[in-house]
Amino acid sequence: MSDDLCRLPASTLSEKIAAKKISPVELTKAVLARAEALQPVLNCFITLVPDQAMAAARRAEDAVMRGEPLGLLHGIPFAAKDLVNTAGVRTTFGSLHYEDNVPKEDAVGAARLKQAGAILFGKTTTPEFGHKALTDAPLFGRTRNAWSAERTSAGSSGGAAVAVAAGIGPIGIATDGGGSTRIPAAANGMVGLKQSNGVIPHSQVADAFGNYTYVTPMTRTVMDTALMLQAMAGPHPSDPWSIGVPVPDYAAAARADGDLSGKRILYSVTLGNSLVAADVRDAFDQALKKLAALGAELIELDGDLPDMAPIWKVINHTTWRARFDDLVRRPDNRLSASLVRQVKMADAWSGVDYQQAMFQRTDLFRKVQGWFETADYLVTPTLSRTALPIEQDLFEPISVDGVEAGELRINWFPYTMPFNITGHPALTVCCGYAGDGLPIGLQFVGRFRDEASVLRAGALYESSERWLERWPDL
């Protein structure tokens, strides 16, 4: 029974809790038991808080039994990536330097999930400060993919994706600075949304005005993503991008009603990439056929994006230099070697280089905006191939179908980075499985701050397939 509970989406669980058919206490016990059983296999948690979670579950159950008004996610267990502050719960950022750090306040996203009735049960793994798309760190080791112990969970929200994919908890908070939600979501067959700037306030980011990082939902279904977004969205004084941003009915948008008739979809299987795995191409072609069958008009994107890596790297690595250079220079520096190497890369860039990258960011935003003057969505693969080997190094080339493709970032996830820079909403959903048995992701990108439309397209596609019926063999 406990495993059956862990396979239900949050949307179903919340209805059953409200109807007194499922107990929050029973559900939380099941989640904690599964976390304890699978942690030695998957290594997807840094911290679990069973006592705190059970106390919250008992309070949630009492509220149900007293007939009190219930929040949108009342009694639903969630885990938060260990970059996200949680009051009174250790938050390490995946770093030995913060191994014993306990924040006094919740990040806005975590606070709002709790206000909606959700129950924090643990903190999921992240590479140190979320600095790469592989989830490992000296603090905890490596996080395995839910579908294969020989493959990486991807990252940087690897723990969040694996926990949901393994049925440990139905939802989780992730973050996305260059694809860090969508990459592991795709590598583990989950739903990952990077919303537009300000839709979910980011109360921890140092540069709120130049922000390109996002606190995000991680779920199994599009509807669960919509419910998390509904709970976490809305203005907050900590984030200038969020002020004045309305909150539409995301849950209504995520119902798979109607079709895509009258919608125009731009598509690109490469988006400037050189090598794409044959299985990914095949799954992408089949997904396009499904979208056409739903009534959409498909138009191949004419012209590629500029090379994103130089723009993203200058903005990202100079940000890291400003944040971490003092740590790097300390005699007791215990940072990950891969983070230190990237911080040092920024030594070569000046303030002029940074500002020119910001000018290019504006140009890129305007280019993408131009696409959506005549189209409703852009659809791409999420990754060029399935999950990489678990021993993959950030600085070593990756292979695609046995061919050396080159540097990891620009050859595995060129599809995700652009929309961190432009701020447009981007959603990944599972669109099939490769010959190696691992999931393949499909990315929907939409108009700025039109998450509702992106959720609707994702939900319609999701309902046309049966990929959610598959579970990893653990």
Answer yes or no: 156 catalytic: yes
Answer yes or no: 196 catalytic: no
How many helices (H) and strands (E) the chain has is answered by 16, 15
Distance CA 157, CA 191 (A): 12
Structural tokens at position 421: 């820079």
Answer yes or no: 180 catalytic: yes
Which of 14, 23, 180, 384 is labelled catalytic?
180
Which of 11, 23, 81, 194 is labelled catalytic?
81
Distance CA 232, CA 250 (A): 11
Structural tokens at position 342: 């990237």
In sequence order, the β-bridge partners of residue 265 are: 298, 377
Count of Cβ atoms closer than 10 Å to residue 309 Cβ: 15
Of 160, 140, 142, 118, give the one whose Cα is nearest residue 24. 118
Structural tokens at position 388: 């990489």
Q: Are 255 and 42 in contact (CB under 8 A)?
A: no
Q: Are 365 and 372 in contact (CB under 8 A)?
A: no
Sequence letter at residue 470: R
Phi and psi torsions of 290, nearest 5°: -65, -40
- For 361-408, the three-class secondary structure string (H helix, E strand, C coil) is HHHHHHHHHHHCCCCCEEEEECCCCCCCECCCCCCCCEEECCEEEECH
Structural tokens at position 192: 């990952």
Distance CA 41, CA 50 (A): 19
Count of Cβ atoms closer than 10 Å to residue 465 Cβ: 16
Of 256, 254, 200, 252, give the one whose Cα is nearest residue 229. 200
Residue found by looking up tokens 């599964």 in the block: 34
Q: For 241, which DSSP code?
A: G
Which of 11, 14, 153, 156 is labelled catalytic?
156
Of 205, 193, 217, 180, give the one whose Cα is nearest residue 73. 217
Q: What is the largest CA-CA distance in the chain?
A: 62
Of 356, 376, 471, give the one whose Cα is nearest residue 424. 376
Residue 173 exposed, middle or buried by CB count within 10 Å (0-12, 13-18, 19+): buried
Sequence letter at residue 212: Y
Distance CA 69, CA 78 (A): 20
Distance CA 283, CA 211 (A): 33
So which residues are the catalytic ones?
A: 81, 156, 180
